[in-house]
Structure 1
Amino acid sequence: MEARMTTSVRNVLILILVLLATGSSENDLDFEFCGTWHHGKEPLTLNFNLSTGCKGISVSANKSSLTINGQITGHCRRSDKIPLKRFQLESEDNKFCLYWEPLLDLLKLEIGGQNLTLCWPVTLHGSCCTDLSLGPNEPEASYGILNGMIKTDIINHKIHTGYNFSANSINCKAICDQWNNGFNQVHGTEAAVSSQAVEKIGHACARSFEVEMKAHFGGNNITSPATKGVSAKTATAVHLPPALKKAAKKTSKVVCTFFKNITVFQEGHKEVQILSEVVGITIENEVIVDLSEPIRIEFHHDAMPKMHSRKCVSWDTRKDPLQVNWLVDGCETKLRGANHTECLCNHLTYFAILVQLQPRPVRHLLALTAITALGCAMSVISCIALIIYLCKKSRRSKEQSTPIHLGLATSLLLLNLLFFLTGVLANIGGESVCTWVGAGLHYTLLSSFTWMGIEVLQTFWLVCIVFRPSPKPYVWNLVGFVLPAVPVIILAAVGDIYGMREVVPSTDLSDPYLMCWMKVTFKALLAHYFINMTILVILVFSGIVMLFLVYREIRTRAEWRKNRVAFLSIWGLSCLYGTTWGLTFLDFGPLADFFLFLSCILNSFQGFLLMLRFCLLDWMKKPTGGSSLRSRISGSTKQHMLHSSLRSSNSGSTKQHMLQDQEKS
């Protein structure tokens, strides 16, 4: 009886401590201050000076700078001056928000649509600074903070140069220890009242383990503390290798921290999602890299569909220490099952599992890459030979269709050449080169689509519209070469569209194929769907319509009934006009792999097929080898229709032949 009463009193005291920590202050444990910075048009800067203690924090602003000063953190000591030019704060009024989470010793600033982490999360070692209350405001001014508010409550609608907040110190570590040790499961009515507050605190707490690496250190295993609903078998486990002792020069202590609250690590990465928890492994005042034996981290998480790739990543502080940057460098991913991933990393920092939401991994990437390389190489050679042939032919005759064929061959040559070299250029040149190569690849793709559309229009013109002359060659050149450059120039001016692209294979998620193309950003995806996919849909639809109209034009004639082989030639021509690209829309269902390979083969060999078309047409016109076929279709509508793009001249003789054939039929 006495033991039960002691337990009840202890639980009640814990509840009182939790409720006092989360409900007694006006702003709860966490703190959120937002406002609108009214500034001038000169270059802007962010100034901050943070130190340990618990006196409070001040936020001030003037014509050119936003300043944050505070003695509020438990571990963070930081002072810096950062230009805000890259945030593109073009207007004179920009909203900002300052967030403080004392249980993680985390301070972050949101401004210009980006999140800057001023103090990175750590585990608690004692008291923390919370219960921030508003102190005396700074005076009004022409420039400063407008519409200051705490969470959703507006403090003042006027412009003030700054706001001051005082703070109180509480024993946050005691609250986190009670939660981590399992005392959150309180029975009775009190549990129902305080469960939300306890879960809120528990989610924010981080748990650290300090390991002493003695002289004969043979490695150590650390397991994440079990929480409610999580068994010890599925908890995150870390194995520290003996090589870590040899790499550490200044100290023999390593700290391993498990972060349940992964929100701060997720921000700014909409295309990926963090699984499970984040593990931080650090040695104070030392940078440990290139370990001879890797650190092994085993993550247990919810089962993920196969279409979403998983990869082990580490936080990189070299690019921008104020923002989260995840890298796959230095970590090897081992997939142990649908809900189990092992990471082997050769350095110390924060580690996590990222799930790639978009795009999904590519099936049979190695085989598709080999087919594409072979097809592009053959297409480049074929297009060069075809261009030489068409240039010689243009000197002998003045056929209207020759410049169109020449434009299509040139655009396909450039497209296949850049696509053949994109992997090499991405690995050698990096991001800076990929920006230009990606823009060039996009231009050649749009140019090829445009010339295919011109071929469709020219064929339709010669077969169905016999009373009007087709446009001059220079008009087609302007449309085929100049018009596609317009959207590419606009997208390049917008920025963050072209660059390095990772194509993740389904077999090895940690070894992506690098190429230069459009990035996986919201702006790039929007441009891809509104420009590339729209043009592709129009091209495929117009090719199918052209095929139907040509068939309807010739199906009632006697020559069609005698030799239907000509229809296969028309179908082959229509493939060159873009219908093969329509196979990309069939990448689903049980035949997805079949259509994937068929689309890859036809599109990569498109230059070769274009040359093959001209070889077959020339063979049909020669007396030897094809005399019987030639005699059967001589003077027929099929010959004028199939060869019109090769025989039409400015004199309009082709149209006259077609009219005569119509009268005969």
Structure 2
Amino acid sequence: MGAEFKGTLWKIFLFALFSPGSGEYDRFFQMCGTWRHGKEKLTLAYDLQRGCGTISIYANDSFLSIRGQITTQCEGSSSLDLGLGPETEESHFCVYWEPLLDQLLVEVNGWNHTVCWPSIQTQCCTDLSQGPNKQVDKYGILNISIRGDLLSSKTYSAMEFYGHSIDCKSELYDEPNHGSRRQFDIHAWTEEPRMSYKVWGNLSLPLALISVVEMNKGFKGYTVALPVPQELTHPRITSVYLPQYLKPLEKEKVNAVCIFFKHSTLFPLSSNVDHNDIRILEDVVGITVENETITNLLEPVKIGYHHSVIPTTHSRKCVSWDTMKDPKIITWREEGCQTIKKTSEETECQCNHLTYFAILVQRRTGPVPHLGALTAITSAGCAASTLSCVVLIAFFCKKQRKAKEPSTSSTAVHLGLSIALFFLSILFFLTGTVANVWGGDACWLFGAFLHYSLLSSFSWMAIEVFHTFWLVYMVFSPFPKPYIWHLFGFGLPAVPVIVLLAIGNIYGVREVVPSDDFSNPYLMCWMNISPGSVGLLAHYLTNMTLMAAVVLSGFVMLLLVLRKIKKRDEWRRNRTAFLSIWGLSCLFGTTWGLGLLDFGPLSEFVLFIFCILNSLQGFFLMLRFYILHRMRKYSGSSFSGSSTVSSTKHHMLQ
């Protein structure tokens, strides 16, 4: 991050700009106009190269394009779909160019599209002057204005401008000719005492406000306040605390740069995100140290935001822009930042690295009624299931050592399901504790294990379905070897989890919001399933798809088995019929199908039944096998460790 800013030049051109007579910064370019087009599909296209030459803004019936040489670090070509043209066949647009930030922004009908992201450069392409332009009769650009001054009301097919390249150091700072300097005293609006370093001052640009602090030997930390330029009686203040560990020990003197961006729209969310549910708060702050990449700080950087009131129905999280990925794609991540919610209008972000920081506000979706009661039920059920699975595992291990074929395969299947349910129960029981005590770093790994145990449990339930089909309909066929079951039950679920870990930003802390107290959410380690996220897509492709497949196959197999045994004398006994249906339902995971019925007036009732049945699934399985064992022992038959279908095969079909 620090290398991007060419740190030593910050002091030079900022200090120079605060000399007497420097005046308001006027190298910023803004051209606005009306784009006259057709009613068909519209496209914004750009083709940029590095350098400082000619930039052309071209428009026709369907394309608005920007091409040429104007940037120092941004190049490439792309196009954006703007949708169908309005009925008026005219769209207002503006092109903003900030040479010091090397940032190009295009606004069309109120929507901002950042073409080049901000990054301070040593060479500035500025002083854009108008070139020759060609008039047209119908489609093109009209009502053209430059920085608010009307240039022409005629219609042109393209507007051309020539840039002038300057060296920021030589053009903005020339010590022999400038004489004395006026140093901005930041202590006039901060309470911190003066340390052994200099504050070079603030620079107000049309798109950003910049403050530079020179950290000398003996730097002990400092708070920089960045006033937000708003038309309010009491403007909001964003403060940045720079810890002493920010200064590299091997350097005598180094500059820290804080950039406050006046428009959060310069850092938009991805286009597939619902902006009604999630948005970036007004203020975005960038922090860097010249020529340094700062990570894993011993003491965090603290950014204090004073913002508009955030309703209790919305959540807020401190996020940072991941600059390690494609700089053309904004990737906000929570890792490395802690959110301190002070008031409804004040939030502090504590982060252990440097980049761009913001607050992500998201409308809480799907508040859960009776969350406290459901949490208590689930915790108690998971605790009972964990202990029950321990008993089952010990029981099947003992039987597996004594049993002979073909029962060994059946016992291996039941043992695999018991192990998977054991891990699912104990991890779900501990997920809230891990999320509250250790937070995001631990939740990243814990959430992945919890996801794996869920997929493994579903896989073993699917194996139980297939195994039952094998027992009932392929009586004389040999059983597959136990290692085949283990490969599909334990090995296959690891594949999607490994892929999601490689993608990143999938697992972490998730907030489950109670409907009666939005300000006190339940924290758990799970997947990030916010609207429009990759985690939500992964949730549907892995969890929901596999669960639906298991439930559907379980119901089908249940009907087929009952069809086989319903004519037997034993089936006519109510207890035997109930035990058969109940046991097979537990074994096949059909109770998970209740999760698909969580809607409508019975939603709360279904939610309670879902939590009770599935959190106690391990206990129910232990109870089932215990009852079968007692029935066989009572009847004098040996227990083979098989499924209910195998049991009914011995008691009913034979």
In structure 2, C-alpha distance between the alignment counterparts of 1:101 and 1:19, rounded to whole Å: 6
TM-score by length of 1: 0.54
> Is the alpha carbon distance of 1:388 and 1:291 closer, same or farther for their aligned partners in structure 2, counting shifts above 3 Å?
closer
Deviation at 1:225, TM superposition (A): 2.1
In structure 1, C-alpha distance between the alignment counterparts of 2:292 and 2:498, rounded to whole Å: 42
1:354 aligns with 2:357: no
Contact 1:224 1:237 (8 Å CA) reproduced? yes
Which of 15, 21, 24 in structure 1 is aligned with 2:31? 21
1:583 aligns with 2:591: no
> Partner residue of 1:185?
none
After TM superposition, the structure 1 = structure 2 runs for residues 644-655 of structure 1, keeping only pairs within 5 Å, are 645-646=646-647, 648=649, 655=653
After TM superposition, the structure 1 = structure 2 runs for residues 336-485 of structure 1, keeping only pairs within 5 Å, are 341-343=347-349, 349-355=355-361, 374=383, 377-378=386-387, 380-392=389-401, 394-395=403-404, 398=406, 403-414=409-420, 416-417=422-423, 420=426, 441=453, 444-454=456-466, 457=469, 461=472, 469=475, 471-474=477-480, 481-482=487-488
1:298 aligns with 2:313: no
In structure 2, C-alpha distance between the alignment counterparts of 1:542 and 1:494, rounded to whole Å: 26
Deviation at 1:520, TM superposition (A): 9.7
In structure 1, C-alpha distance between the alignment counterparts of 2:240 and 2:414, rounded to whole Å: 60
Q: Judge which range, 263-272 or 475-484, deviates more.
A: 475-484
Deviation at 1:572, TM superposition (A): 3.8
Which of 162, 165, 176 in structure 2 is aligned with 1:167? 162
Contact 1:219 1:241 (8 Å CA) reproduced? yes
Deviation at 1:408, TM superposition (A): 3.5
Deviation at 1:285, TM superposition (A): 6.5
Deviation at 1:206, TM superposition (A): 1.6
Q: Judge which range, 413-422 or 513-522, deviates more.
A: 513-522
Contact 1:437 1:517 (8 Å CA) reproduced? no
Query: SS in structure 2 opposite 1:276?
Result: coil
> Partner residue of 1:333?
339
> Is the alpha carbon distance of 1:563 and 1:435 closer, same or farther for their aligned partners in structure 2, counting shifts above 3 Å?
closer
1:260 aligns with 2:263: yes
Which of 87, 97, 102 in structure 2 is aligned with 1:102? 97
1:239 aligns with 2:239: yes
1:505 aligns with 2:511: yes
In structure 1, C-alpha distance between the alignment counterparts of 2:132 and 2:443, rounded to whole Å: 47
Flag the structure with larger Rg: 1
In structure 1, C-alpha distance between the alignment counterparts of 2:443 and 2:323, rounded to whole Å: 19
Query: SS in structure 1 opposite 2:466?
Result: helix
Query: SS in structure 2 opposite 1:407?
Result: helix
Aligned residue type for 1:297: Y
1:567 aligns with 2:565: no
Contact 2:342 2:348 (8 Å CA) reproduced? yes
Aligned residue type for 2:263: K
Aligned residue type for 1:444: S
For residues 244-275 of structure 1, the C-alpha deviation after alignment (integer angstroms, 9 at most, x for no partner) is: 89979847986452331524443488496423
In structure 2, C-alpha distance between the alignment counterparts of 1:648 and 1:555, rounded to whole Å: 12
> Partner residue of 1:226?
230
In structure 1, C-alpha distance between the alignment counterparts of 2:161 and 2:117, rounded to whole Å: 19
TM-score by length of 2: 0.55
In structure 2, C-alpha distance between the alignment counterparts of 1:25 and 1:564, rounded to whole Å: 78
Q: Judge which range, 613-622 or 603-612, deviates more.
A: 603-612
In structure 1, C-alpha distance between the alignment counterparts of 2:578 and 2:563, rounded to whole Å: 11
Query: SS in structure 2 opposite 1:388?
Result: helix
> Partner residue of 1:62?
none
> Is the alpha carbon distance of 1:583 and 1:241 closer, same or farther for their aligned partners in structure 2, counting shifts above 3 Å?
same
Contact 2:584 2:644 (8 Å CA) reproduced? no
> Partner residue of 1:312?
318
> Partner residue of 2:177?
none
Contact 2:460 2:489 (8 Å CA) reproduced? no
Deviation at 1:403, TM superposition (A): 2.8
Deviation at 1:603, TM superposition (A): 3.4
Deviation at 1:287, TM superposition (A): 7.4
> Is the alpha carbon distance of 1:258 and 1:551 closer, same or farther for their aligned partners in structure 2, counting shifts above 3 Å?
same
Aligned residue type for 2:97: P
In structure 1, C-alpha distance between the alignment counterparts of 2:565 and 2:283, rounded to whole Å: 68
In structure 1, C-alpha distance between the alignment counterparts of 2:648 and 2:611, rounded to whole Å: 32
Contact 1:55 1:71 (8 Å CA) reproduced? yes
Contact 1:361 1:503 (8 Å CA) reproduced? no
Deviation at 1:582, TM superposition (A): 1.8
In structure 1, C-alpha distance between the alignment counterparts of 2:343 and 2:489, rounded to whole Å: 50
For residues 584-608 of structure 1, the C-alpha deviation after alignment (integer angstroms, 9 at most, x for no partner) is: 3345578767755654554355344
> Partner residue of 1:618?
629
The percent identity for this pair of structures is: 29
Q: Judge which range, 614-623 or 310-319, deviates more.
A: 310-319
Aligned length: 502
Contact 2:97 2:104 (8 Å CA) reproduced? no
Deviation at 1:102, TM superposition (A): 0.7
Aligned residue type for 1:577: F
Runs of at least 5 residues in structure 2 that lack an aligned partner in the other structure: 1-26, 37-43, 57-66, 81-93, 106-112, 134-139, 142-159, 166-204, 514-518
Deviation at 1:333, TM superposition (A): 2.3
For residues 603-654 of structure 1, the C-alpha deviation after alignment (integer angstroms, 9 at most, x for no partner) is: 355344323212111212344xxxxxx79xx9xxxxxx996513747xxx95
Aligned residue type for 1:619: R
Deviation at 1:391, TM superposition (A): 1.8
Query: SS in structure 1 opposite 2:229?
Result: coil
Query: SS in structure 2 opposite 1:294?
Result: strand
Query: SS in structure 2 opposite 1:300?
Result: coil
Contact 2:288 2:354 (8 Å CA) reproduced? yes
> Is the alpha carbon distance of 1:596 and 1:390 closer, same or farther for their aligned partners in structure 2, counting shifts above 3 Å?
farther
After TM superposition, the structure 1 = structure 2 runs for residues 65-214 of structure 1, keeping only pairs within 5 Å, are 72-73=70-71, 96=78, 101-103=96-98, 105-107=101-103, 119-120=117-118, 128=126, 130=128, 167-168=162-163, 205-208=206-209, 210=211
Aligned residue type for 1:453: V
In structure 2, C-alpha distance between the alignment counterparts of 1:359 and 1:613, rounded to whole Å: 38
> Is the alpha carbon distance of 1:131 and 1:117 closer, same or farther for their aligned partners in structure 2, counting shifts above 3 Å?
same
Query: SS in structure 2 opposite 1:505?
Result: strand
> Is the alpha carbon distance of 1:515 and 1:386 closer, same or farther for their aligned partners in structure 2, counting shifts above 3 Å?
farther
In structure 2, C-alpha distance between the alignment counterparts of 1:270 and 1:24, rounded to whole Å: 28
In structure 1, C-alpha distance between the alignment counterparts of 2:70 and 2:599, rounded to whole Å: 55
For residues 481-511 of structure 1, the C-alpha deviation after alignment (integer angstroms, 9 at most, x for no partner) is: 5599679769978995688512412479999
Deviation at 1:311, TM superposition (A): 0.3
Aligned residue type for 1:332: Q
Bigger relative contact order (CA 8 A; separation at least 6): 2
Aligned residue type for 2:32: T
> Is the alpha carbon distance of 1:338 and 1:243 closer, same or farther for their aligned partners in structure 2, counting shifts above 3 Å?
closer
Query: SS in structure 2 opposite 1:618?
Result: helix
Deviation at 1:382, TM superposition (A): 3.3
In structure 2, C-alpha distance between the alignment counterparts of 1:353 and 1:258, rounded to whole Å: 13
Deviation at 1:70, TM superposition (A): 8.9
In structure 1, C-alpha distance between the alignment counterparts of 2:509 and 2:310, rounded to whole Å: 24
In structure 1, C-alpha distance between the alignment counterparts of 2:302 and 2:70, rounded to whole Å: 37
Which of 13, 27, 33 in structure 1 is aligned with 2:46? 33
For residues 520-569 of structure 1, the C-alpha deviation after alignment (integer angstroms, 9 at most, x for no partner) is: 98776556535543442343345456666777888898866764475155
Deviation at 1:326, TM superposition (A): 3.2
In structure 1, C-alpha distance between the alignment counterparts of 2:104 and 2:238, rounded to whole Å: 28
